[in-house]
């Protein structure tokens, strides 16, 4: 679960690093959200995988 939390934090940090106005660059629209979403999916997997055993 810590890996998923780290991915979410890194994703939001990448979104904040976008230099385009209002975050409309590649980092703010594509890379950051994809990493954040994968972090949330990793969290769901970790929760359901642990509770299934």
The residue length of the chain stands at 53
C-alpha torsion angle, residues 34, 40, 42, 48 (rounded to 10): -150
Q: Domains of the chain: which residue ranges? A: 2-51
Whether the Cβ atoms of residue 27 and residue 14 lie closer than 8 Å to each other = yes
* Claim: this prediction has a pTM higher than 0.85: yes
Give the three-state DSSP class for 25: coil
Q: Check pLDDT > 70 for residue 53.
A: no
Q: What is the pLDDT of residue 3?
A: 95
pLDDT by residue (tens digit) across 9-43? Answer: 999 999 999 999 988 999 999 999 999 999 999 99
- Angle among Cα 25, 23, 18 to the nearest 5 degrees reads 70
What pLDDT was estimated at residue 51?
73
Q: What is the pLDDT of residue 27?
A: 95
- Structural contact between residues 39 and 6, judged by C-beta atoms closer than 8 angstroms: yes
């Amino acid at each position: 679960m810590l890996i998923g939390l780290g991915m979410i934090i890194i994703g939001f940090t990448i979104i904040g690093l976008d230099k385009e106005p209002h975050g409309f660059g590649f980092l703010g629209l594509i890379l950051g959200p994809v990493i954040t979403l994968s972090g949330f999916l990793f969290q769901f997997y970790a929760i359901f995988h642990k509770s299934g055993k």
